[in-house]
Structure 1
């Protein structure tokens, strides 16, 4: 495929998607190392290099239409970006300066130098300051075929390097001290990661501008809501970065309106003045917000649903245990109990009690006749299981944590609903070995304290109790 024959918008689409992919992958390493703001620092530190390189081109008479012009500006940006990264490393390793303070010092100093140099360039005769201004917000429309191939090469080298050094980078990203104890050259790894971050930032300046930091941070931040594993995190980060580039390009180039029939940003006739760089960041922010809300395990809605389910299950299990304890002295007979009696047995929130009654009825665990509530056979079995887990934890707190018997009920009430079968089995084995569990595991042990509502501790239960 000859990229020279492609329309400009398609070249921009390829360039922004490839840049987003490589920025997401390399940025993940920085985020995991808690160096998210390093990309922002590099973007600001590269700006004085652009100005200095522009001054060199101005003195040598190198115009913007010559290939050496772009190469010279990128070299200057990369040089000062690397110097800024080296200064941060020096300040954090060999002085008492914290990393966030070191980044702030370098960022503000280099950006101040950029403003001074830019002001100087404005007053040079014949100088075109627009050649430098475009790197502040980016100008993706100026992307050339060579730029697309260069970004693709950076992505390819990054993927190959990650594949070769996957184990080392994974270990260093999560535990640098452990990697150092293995004898690995952690300083070289750190400098290599910083150099890769500088390279990606400098490459992205013509497209995204000084906002390149967002393209480095946002994909990984969004991907962490979708996975806990290192490998999938890199893949998802790259995919999110590429998606932001594609979406932003489609919006900026009016393809989104043409294909889908509406304008997501409602810019209308001012669309021609809409820069691609900021739209890329806004697109990434939208994906991040969607990840925060809708991620299946770590998203806000998923956590809210899980919390509501836990509260519902907790209230239902508390109701079953209350019914079991109220009728424990009458077993194996399943006696009905009045709603007022249940309310006096423990403190209830009216809404929680109402929902617990409905949920237990739907599950077939209780039968209601007016205000009389009675456990069914399956409900009695479930109630006995809940009560057994509760009392096992109480016995563990008394024998293992040395907590007084009259203080264990509330602690057990808060933890019994999240105990896994494996933990329950370990509790049973531990208590049986110590002689604290003389009965079979099929029935609840004796309550170690006076039950709420005035019931005395009961003795042996019938096997039919669960």
Structure 2
């Protein structure tokens, strides 16, 4: 149960951390907490021998050390010319090095070998006691409730910090609360996945959820679900196979879910983007083909407004020099146009427009030439820079401008008066 609550809180906190573009901050907090754990252990051992393994004290030390790491990063970034990524690297390396030195000292103490502090580095869910589980899920619940109560404010902070400040929101305070939640989640995750992998459970669920939705609420919920599933699978695997490290399995499960989201996500997935781009390229190619047909036919057919364009055939040799396409690309566009019933094959190398294709070709030529006139007369764009991919101009230009452009168009191209 503690792992599941930790996965939920990690997914929620990681969502805001990702949107704030501070993904590496979780890594810094995790590594910076190491000396805090060591110092807390030493203090408790000096105060009362055999009490250094008390988890609340260790987590408090980790939290204070993680906060100190964040403050150090801010000071380095604001008081020097060092960039944020370098400041993060300096803080991470310095605090982690200090932690390793302190751990070496602890190992030489009489009770150091039985302290079990290495579990904070690599994580070990199998050794978590019931009292530790209760502490972890209580802290996780507090983090989840805090994120829910400040959900709207955190969303505003992530998407438009300057607007939030102009509206009087306490941006600095909200940022500190958000960073406090990140610290809390990182600290309670040390026993489950360890400081080396805790940043993965913060970022992977949020990054995976980004591929499925554009809404913040849905993304947060999806990230929480992925975090829970990852932690559950890790805990179950660790229980069934004692030699498997639960922390590593948790992160691997999240990584698998990230790969699935990367390829099959319904908003930003690779396959969806590939399919959408392919459909767009096909539509543009078909539009260019119809425009090329119209340009060829209007020079061979008498320019009468009611003259049909479906009776005249166009050969491949006439089409090929009209655009910068290859013969293979042209043949593929011709097949697509035939599939859409815009063209009919007259012979192996000759094609003609269907009635549906003639309507589409006239519309494509009209829209392109309206755009051409608009860009030349109103935007002062050179003719060579006019985009040939002109779709529905009615969705962009005002009706009054379209009427004026059509008047100029019909004067220049009388044969288009009915299109």
Q: Judge same fold: TM > 0.5, yes or no.
A: yes
The answer on 1:99 being equivalent to 2:87 is: no
Aligned to 1:427, what secondary structure does the other structure show?
Answer: coil
| Residue 392 (structure 1) aligned to one of 363, 370, 383 | 370
Alignment of 1:420-431 (within 5 A): 421=392, 423-427=393-397, 429=399, 431=401
Cα distance in structure 1, aligned partners of 2:102 and 2:218: 43
Which one is further off, 395-404 or 371-380? 395-404
Alignment of 1:4-403 (within 5 A): 14-63=1-50, 69-128=54-113, 131-210=116-195, 211-254=197-240, 271-329=241-299, 330=301, 332-334=307-309, 335-370=312-347, 371-403=349-381
Aligned to 2:341, what secondary structure does the other structure show?
Answer: coil
Cα distance in structure 1, aligned partners of 2:341 and 2:374: 32
Q: Deviations over 1:396-415 (max 9, x none)?
A: 2212321233x14xx412x4
Question: Paired residues, what number?
Answer: 410
- Return closer, same or farther for 1:273/1:425 CA change in 2, 3 Å cut-off: closer
1:462 to partner: Cα distance: 4.9
Q: Deviations over 1:373-426 (max 9, x none)?
A: 110111101111111221122112212321233x14xx412x42xx4x4x5344
Cα distance in structure 2, aligned partners of 1:303 and 1:63: 58
1:438 corresponding residue in structure 2: 407
1:91 to partner: Cα distance: 3.2
Runs of at least 5 residues in structure 2 that lack an aligned partner in the other structure? none
Moved over 6 A (4+): none
Cα distance in structure 2, aligned partners of 1:122 and 1:145: 26
TM-score (norm 2): 0.91
Aligned to 1:293, what secondary structure does the other structure show?
Answer: helix
Verify the 8 A CA contact 2:193 2:250 in the aligned structure 1.
Answer: yes
Verify the 8 A CA contact 1:42 1:84 in the aligned structure 2.
Answer: yes
Which one is further off, 348-357 or 188-197? 348-357
Runs of at least 5 residues in structure 1 that lack an aligned partner in the other structure? 1-13, 255-270, 440-444, 448-456
Cα distance in structure 2, aligned partners of 1:249 and 1:70: 20
